[in-house]
Chain A
Amino acid sequence: SAVISQKPSRDICQRGTSLTIQCQVDSQVTMMFWYRQQPGQSLTLIATANQGSEATYESGFVIDKFPISRPNLTFSTLTVSNMSPEDSSIYLCSVDIFRAREKLFFGSGTQLSVL
């Protein structure tokens, strides 16, 4: 596995503001993924962050709302823009350490509450 550091661990934000979540891995990885877990729900993939190219967004998620950066092979950020209470969720960074068999490992998550 790898050490995946995510911050902030939690935040309480006001409606209309933006929050940037950082994900740092202690080894180089090709693909990083951002998931959302709404209260009582399972994990939903927001986007795949590839180094050197635009992130690939899943249906229902758009770049203007969730811009992603991937400046190198160990770091990525997810911004939640123009937040509303519906964005209250846990946001999780994950990486594929062993590319051959798609095993994902998760960061500790960011608990976001929007008032």
Chain B
Amino acid sequence: QKEVEQNSGPLSVPEGAIASLNCTYSDRGSQSFFWYRQYSGKSPELIMSIYSNGDKEDGRFTAQLNKASQYVSLLIRDSQPSDSATYLCAVSGGNTGFQKLVFGTGTRLLVSP
């Protein structure tokens, strides 16, 4: 079982819609959770972090964490074509230790005008 799993996509949504990206992780002791956005040919960019159960909102982005289900998600409201990118879920803490991020393989998001 992979430590961090994501659907590779592509996830296609029309402009203005809500994009929902999901991630599951295997290490129940994980403490910190991150979403990175990676445009093609570019390095990952941190867009959200979440550390406790529930929702965390930042502009059009909402991260949701459910530690009991070992599930973290990212919602993008009012999706724009500029949001088209690969979104990487990353997890740290637990058995991997702090400051060692384990990344999922990413979900490719396509937002059509």
- Chain A residues with CB under 8 Å of chain B are 31, 33, 41-45, 48, 92, 96, 99, 101-109
Contact = CB atoms under 8 A, between A and B. Distances in A.
A103 B43 contact: no
Nearest to A30: B99
Contacts of A96: 99
Question: B42, B43, B105, B106: which has the most chain A beta carbons within 10 Å?
Answer: B43
A44 B4 CA distance: 12
Contact of A45 (B32, B46, B100, B105): B100
21 contacts: A33-B100, A41-B105, A42-B106, A43-B103, A45-B100, A45-B102, A92-B44, A96-B99, A101-B32, A101-B51, A102-B93, A102-B99, A102-B101, A103-B34, A103-B46, A104-B90, A104-B101, A106-B43, A106-B45, A108-B43, A109-B43
Contacts of B99: 31, 33, 48, 96, 99, 102
A99 to B, nearest CB: 8
Tell me the interface secondary structure of chain A in the complex. Answer: strand
B92 A102 contact: yes
B88 interface: yes
A44 B102 CA distance: 7
Nearest to A41: B105
Contacts, number: 48
B75 to A, nearest CB: 20
B62 interface: no
Given A104-B46, A106-B43, A107-B43, A42 B32 contact: no
B98 A102 contact: yes
Contacts of B34: 103-104
Given A42-B103, A42-B106, A96-B99, A105 B46 contact: yes
